[in-house]
A and B are shown apart, each in its own frame.
With several copies, the nearest count.
Chain A
Amino acid sequence: MLTTARFWRETPQRYRMEAGRCTSCGKVWYPPRRICGECKGREFETVRLPDEGTLYTYTVIRVAPTAFVDQAPYAVALVDLADGTRIMCQLVDCEPEEIELGMPVRLEFRRILGEGEAGMLAYAHKAVPKR
């Protein structure tokens, strides 16, 4: 179930790709955290993740959870962004057979899913091949 508060509080991360960079050790955490897992630092500055990267690994979901059944098959990927941060997202605008590990991708803001006719819509970034 999409509940308003759950989605609203992730907005900065999902809509603006905001991460937290530890001011002590420089490690970037996505989503942001309260304490740095590397150095135990507690201070972070907000950084916007780069919107380009390369494909680290992926899969094509053919048996989907109920909410995503209409979209299947669809690819989901781990993308290594230009600053070294790795994120999970869908990989769209390409056929499964076009996908190759290491291929360059760009992040675009897209719709993740909609709930019924008058329900909520959820958005986030998806990767598309850079051509």
Chain B
Amino acid sequence: MRDVAVIGVGLSAWGELWDRSLRDLFVEAALNAVEDAGVDSVEAIFVGCMTGGLFAQQEHIGALVADYLGVAPIPATRTESACASAGAAFRTALMAVDSGNHDVVLVGGVEKMTDVDGGGATAALAAASDQEYEAFHGVTFPGLYAMMARAHMAKYGTTREQLGLVAVKNHENGSKNPHAQFPMKVTLEQVLGSVMVADPLRILDCSPITDGASAAVVCPLEMAEKIAKKAPVRVTGSGQATDSIALHQRKDLTFLESTAAAAARAYDMAGCGPGDLDVVEVHDCFTISEIMVMEALGLVEKGQGGPAVEAGETALGGRIPVNTSGGLKSKGHPVGATGVAQIHEIVTQLRGEAGDRQVAGARRGLAQNMGGTGASATVHILEVA
């Protein structure tokens, strides 16, 4: 196994981008990442995308983006693990470099979500749940997380206000991120007064529908020092895990076993623990998700996610800043692109390029990406090389 480094990161525009196609968004992000890396060419592509079929009637995403980047005949493969598609792509790219099969690899993700209407998007996202034993009954993704939220509230006393404070914090962070789709700040009153989507979750508990793409360039660490324009960031830990696709099969609805298993592997590989992190990006598709992920990563004890948010422990300047980018909530959530967009934020922080949201002296960060209601999870640990 070779040590692997991230030498470039890039995003496309994110938002409700009616004038932009899937291929065009990915090419924009990829060109930004390649330029950031300062390399002339890449040898292979891995691209996450959750459902090009249901959102855009387009599959064969790897070949499509290689073509429009003008880099064919290099190999290009799409990975899919629902909303953890780009996290899975990143892990796959690491293995491609690790194994010596490729040196300079482009990895990223893309989702074009606004070519269908709201009902269509809800139905497309439902394909990440168990179509026959969940979606069949009319339950939506906010609905599934709402059931987890209610179970968490019942078991641990997590409050409706604590959920809301996740949104308040993430919009506060997003207001400092020029890439954020919804950079406006929100108050707790606004969250608690926003329209109900699936009790107890309201619209301001939910991440938005976003068109967008993300990309990164990875290569062997020893090569990075020679070819990269900026200081390389080393990938020291990588973990991925699964859980039952349907909530009704989970032993404990209030704990994200796949995130815990992926984190255990990543911590082990990196030789560190949750107490050694300076900055963390987590998959806050809903406010309850961030609280549950914090617990599964071991940032807090089980059941203590809500109180930790309330105490400001995860705010900028707190004990362990979480989602400095604004998270999925404020930055946006093009589902297949999110995993590598999280890597983008951690790299930006470790380079000291995060501007108003910079965590001073950040040297080690973690990115956690999740698919469905946690049936897939990836965890990556990055460090200043």
A contact set with B: CB distance below 8 Å: 1, 3, 5-6, 8-10, 30-31, 33-38, 40, 42, 56-69, 71, 74, 76-78, 86-90, 96, 101, 112-113, 122, 124
With an 8 A cutoff between CB atoms, is B140 at the interface?
Answer: yes
Q: Scan B140-174; emit 1 where CB is below 8 A from any A CB, else 0.
A: 10111011101100100000000000000000000
Bound CA–CA A29/B148 (angstroms) = 21
Known: A57-B253, A61-B198, A76-B143. 12 other contacts (CB 8 A): A1-B120, A6-B56, A33-B27, A33-B68, A34-B24, A59-B142, A59-B144, A59-B199, A60-B196, A62-B196, A76-B139, A78-B247
Bound CA–CA A39/B147 (angstroms) = 29
Bound CA–CA A69/B119 (angstroms) = 8
Residues of B within 8 A of A67 (CB): 123, 138
Known: A59-B150, A60-B199, A66-B123. Is A88-B140 also a contact (CB below 8 A)? no
> CB < 8 Å: which of A3, A36, A37, A65 contacts B135?
A65
Bound CA–CA A62/B146 (angstroms) = 12
Bound CA–CA A111/B122 (angstroms) = 21
With an 8 A cutoff between CB atoms, is B226 at the interface?
Answer: no
Q: Are A76 and B248 in contact (CB under 8 A)?
A: no
Interface of A is mostly: mixed
Residues of A within 8 A of B195 (CB): 62
Residues of A within 8 A of B31 (CB): 34-35, 42
Minimal beta-carbon separation of A43 from chain B (angstroms):
13
Q: How many residues of B contact A (CB 8 A)?
A: 55
Residue of chain A at shortest CB distance from B116: A3
With an 8 A cutoff between CB atoms, is B261 at the interface?
Answer: no
Q: Scan B1-33; emit 1 where CB is below 8 A from any A CB, else 0.
A: 000000000000000001111001001100100
Bound CA–CA A75/B121 (angstroms) = 21
Bound CA–CA A31/B116 (angstroms) = 22
Q: Scan B76-93; emit 1 where CB is below 8 A from any A CB, else 0.
A: 000000000000000000
Residues of B within 8 A of A78 (CB): 147, 247-248, 253
Residue of chain A at shortest CB distance from B57: A1
Residues of A within 8 A of B148 (CB): 57
Q: Are B143 and A6 in contact (CB under 8 A)?
A: no
Q: Are B139 and A61 in contact (CB under 8 A)?
A: yes
Residues of B within 8 A of A76 (CB): 137-139, 143, 147
With an 8 A cutoff between CB atoms, is B69 at the interface?
Answer: yes
Chain B 45-100 interface residues, beta-carbon cutoff 8 Å to A: 56-57, 67-70, 72
Residues of A within 8 A of B118 (CB): 63
Chain B 233-258 interface residues, beta-carbon cutoff 8 Å to A: 246-249, 253
List 23 A-B pairs, Cβ < 8 Å: A8-B18, A9-B18, A31-B132, A31-B133, A33-B68, A35-B69, A35-B70, A37-B72, A38-B70, A56-B253, A59-B146, A59-B200, A64-B138, A66-B120, A71-B138, A78-B253, A86-B248, A88-B133, A88-B246, A90-B137, A101-B154, A113-B138, A124-B136
